[in-house]
């Protein structure tokens, strides 16, 4: 272990000496300006962004099962109602008429039943005395059974008429708030094929949910229980929070993009959030807490080949061979981070700078950052972790506040080696 540490220290010292020798020989420090940002310390949050619509946790549409004219309304927009409370009444004139007609029909069938019973009993006695025929007995029995069936049918019609009359009184099925009223007094509603909606009632606006549309490219990172923050246009300075409770399996396609609906439960104790508001969501899918982090652009920066070649020349062959073996081990285990020696055994950096700059930031792989030490730069090997696109978690010989190179200006011209929209920011 001590031997490995000594070798590592020797390598670093030799590399730094090579950088100093190179710049001293070339006198380039006056013509090169390194663009740097600082090594940071804190959290790295990996997030998925999406938009969604706020809705009540449970919403019930209240309709009518009978046709009629709205006679009275007992609830309006934003009315608080209890379960079983009357919210509307239909005109019952025709419904009462139906009940009375059904009662009259029932009375008529009862009279017919009584007459059939009397006839049947008389015929039965005559048959028992052999004073009447068996066919007359059968006829009387059939008439009695028909009369009894008519009574049952009339009773059913009366019960149905009474039920329809009770449907004229429309009650709230849940306790909540009326968020929509779709009818007025005097309006006729018909329930021929589907139940018309009279009211929409939300059970509890203090518990809301967001129905978010998440792109198929991001849905694999979203898990039930992950924390969510979001804003709404009505309160741009307020940040609301929630939690993922459901990922629905039914996809939808919008403009050739496949999306999945994610349900987020949101507490709303102060009732600021209203149904229908658009939520701009940030779903936290991973987090690294209290870690070193560097600007992601620092991982993409690579000095020109001449700088790397001079550094490599200053490294003894024995050390270069150990570095080559170490690189080969990194390549086998982590996909390679950077090539010690380049294409022809010269310079630092994976063969092909464009490949290095476009390489995937896979957690556990190794990269190189260039640290500004005075007016010189030196390479530092780091192992990366999570990345939020702007900053990336790293492990290596770095300290918070240390400047890492993200680009360069040479000969007074803006020939920045790396596209860097974050120059001037500190992380």
175: DSSP letter: S
Confidence category of residue 393, pLDDT binned at 50, 70, 90: very high
Mean pLDDT throughout 54-64?
Answer: 91
Neighbours of 220 (CB within 10 A): 10
Residue 423 lies in a domain: no
- At 6 the pLDDT is 47
The chain-wide mean pLDDT, for the chain, equals 82
Domain co-membership, 310 together with 257? no
pTM of the model: 0.64
Q: Percent of the chain having pLDDT more than 70? A: 77
The dihedral built from the CA positions of residue 97, 98, 100 and 101, taken in this order, carries a sign that is: positive
Is residue 27 a contact partner of residue 256, using CB atoms and an 8 Å limit? no
Kindly state whether residue 427 falls inside one of the protein's structural domains.
no
> Do 357 and 228 share a structural domain?
no
Asked if 330 and 262 sit in the same domain, the reply is: no
DSSP codes of every residue in 334-387? HS----BTTTTT-SBS-SSHHHHHT----TT-EEEEEEEETTEEEEEEEEEEEE
Point out the domain boundary residue: 253, 287, 321.
287
Residue corresponding to tokens 């696109």: 389
User: Number of C-alpha atoms within 13 angstroms, CB side, residue 93?
Assistant: 5
Q: How many CB atoms lie within 10 A of CB 310?
A: 20
Q: Is residue 7 domain-resident?
A: yes
pLDDT of residue 136: 86
Cβ neighbors of 374 (< 8 A, separation 6 or more) are none
pLDDT in tens, 36-45: 999 999 999 9
When divided into structural domains, the chain yields a total of 3
Assigned token pair, 366:
């190794």
Q: Are residues 272 and 317 in the same domain?
A: no
Domain endpoint, select from 202, 232, 255: 202
| Residue in the structure block whose two tokens are 């464009």 | 354
Distance CA 386, CA 187 (A): 61
- Within 10 angstroms of residue 101's Cβ, the number of other Cβ atoms is 13
According to the model, what pLDDT value does residue 374 have?
82
Give the least confident one: 189-193, 242-246, 401-405.
189-193
Do 417 and 303 touch, CB atoms closer than 8 A?
yes
In a domain, 138, yes or no: yes
What pLDDT does residue 349 have? 45
CA distance 343 to 340: 9
* Domain membership flag for residue 402: yes
What tokens appear for 187 in the block? 């309006």
Q: List pLDDT tens digits, range 97-153.
A: 999 999 999 999 999 999 999 998 988 888 888 877 888 888 999 999 999 999 999
- pLDDT band per the 50, 70, 90 thresholds, residue 398: very high
- The dihedral formed by the CA atoms of 159, 160, 161 and 167, expressed in degrees to the nearest 10: 110
Domain contains 426: no
pLDDT of residue 331: 60
Do 275 and 305 share a domain, yes or no? no
Model confidence at 355: pLDDT above 60: no
Domain of residue 276 covers 48-57+205-287
What string of DSSP letters covers 194-215? SPPEEEEEES-TTEEEEEEEEE
Q: What value does the CA radius of gyration of the chain take, rounded to a whole number of Å?
A: 42
Query: For residue 147, what pLDDT is reported?
Result: 94
- Asked if residue 416 belongs to a domain, the reply is no
Residue 327 lies in a domain: yes
**Are 33 and 75 contained in the same domain?**
no
Do 277 and 261 lie in a common domain?
yes
Residue 248 belongs to domain with CATH number:
2.40.30.170
Same domain for 189 and 67: yes
For the segment 393-419, the average pLDDT, to the nearest whole number, is 74
Residue 81 — pLDDT band, cuts 50, 70, 90? very high
Beta bridge mates, 258: 253
Read off the CATH number of the domain in which 148 is found: 2.40.50.100
Q: Last residue of a domain, which of 272, 287, 302?
A: 287
pLDDT score recorded for residue 31 = 65
Please check whether residues 194 and 219 belong to one and the same domain. no
Q: Is the pLDDT of residue 7 over 80?
A: no
Report how far residue 255's alpha carbon sits from residue 273's, in angstroms, rounded to the nearest whole number.
Answer: 29
The Cβ-side half-sphere exposure at 217, using a 13 Å CA radius, reads 5
Residues 67 and 157 in one domain: yes
For 187-215, the pLDDT digits (tens) are: 999 877 677 889 999 988 889 999 999 99
Strand duo 403-410 + 32-38: pairing: antiparallel
Shared domain check, 314 and 352: yes
On whether both 347 and 219 belong to a single domain, the answer is no
């Amino acid at each position: 272990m001590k031997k490995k540490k000594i070798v590592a220290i020797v390598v670093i010292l030799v590399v730094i000496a090579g950088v100093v020798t190179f710049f001293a020989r070339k006198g380039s420090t006056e013509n090169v300006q390194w663009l740097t940002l600082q090594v940071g310390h804190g959290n790295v949050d990996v997030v998925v962004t999406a938009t969604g619509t706020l809705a009540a946790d449970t919403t019930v549409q209240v309709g009518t099962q009978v046709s009629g004219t709205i006679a009275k309304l007992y609830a309006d927009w934003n009315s608080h109602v209890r379960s079983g409370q009357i919210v509307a009444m239909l005109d019952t004139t025709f419904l009462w008429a139906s009940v009375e007609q059904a009662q009259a029909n029932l009375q008529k069938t009862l009279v017919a039943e009584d007459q059939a019973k009397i006839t049947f009993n008389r015929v039965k006695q005559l048959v028992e005395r052999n004073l009447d025929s068996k066919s007359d007995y059968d006829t009387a029995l059939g008439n009695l059974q028909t009369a009894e069936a008519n009574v049952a049918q009339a009773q059913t019609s009366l019960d149905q008429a009474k039920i329809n009359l009770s449907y004229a009184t429309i009650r709230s099925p849940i306790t909540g708030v009326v968020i929509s009223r779709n009818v007025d007094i005097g309006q006729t509603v018909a329930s021929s094929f589907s139940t018309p909606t009279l009211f929409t009632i939300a059970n509890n606006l203090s518990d809301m949910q967001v129905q978010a549309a998440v792109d198929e490219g991001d849905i694999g990172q979203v898990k039930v229980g992950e924390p969510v923050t979001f804003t709404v246009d009505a309160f741009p300075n307020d940040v609301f929070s929630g939690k993922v409770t459901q990922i629905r399996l039914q996809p939808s396609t919008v403009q050739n993009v496949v999306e999945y609906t994610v349900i987020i439960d949101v507490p709303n104790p102060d009732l600021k959030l209203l149904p229908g508001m658009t939520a701009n969501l940030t779903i936290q899918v991973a987090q690294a807490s209290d870690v070193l982090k560097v600007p992601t652009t620092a991982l993409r920066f690579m000095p020109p080949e001449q700088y790397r070649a001079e550094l490599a020349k200053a490294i003894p062959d024995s050390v270069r061979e150990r570095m080559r073996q170490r690189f080969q081990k990194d390549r086998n285990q982590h996909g390679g981070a950077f090539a010690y020696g380049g294409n022809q055994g010269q310079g630092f950096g994976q063969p092909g700078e464009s490949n290095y700059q476009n390489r995937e930031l896979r957690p556990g792989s190794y990269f190189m950052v260039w640290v500004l030490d005075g007016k010189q730069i030196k390479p530092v090997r780091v192992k990366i972790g999570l990345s939020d696109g702007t900053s990336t978690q790293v492990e290596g010989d770095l300290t918070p506040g240390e400047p890492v190179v993200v680009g360069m200006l040479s000969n007074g011209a803006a020939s920045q080696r790396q596209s860097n929209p974050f120059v001037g920011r500190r992380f």
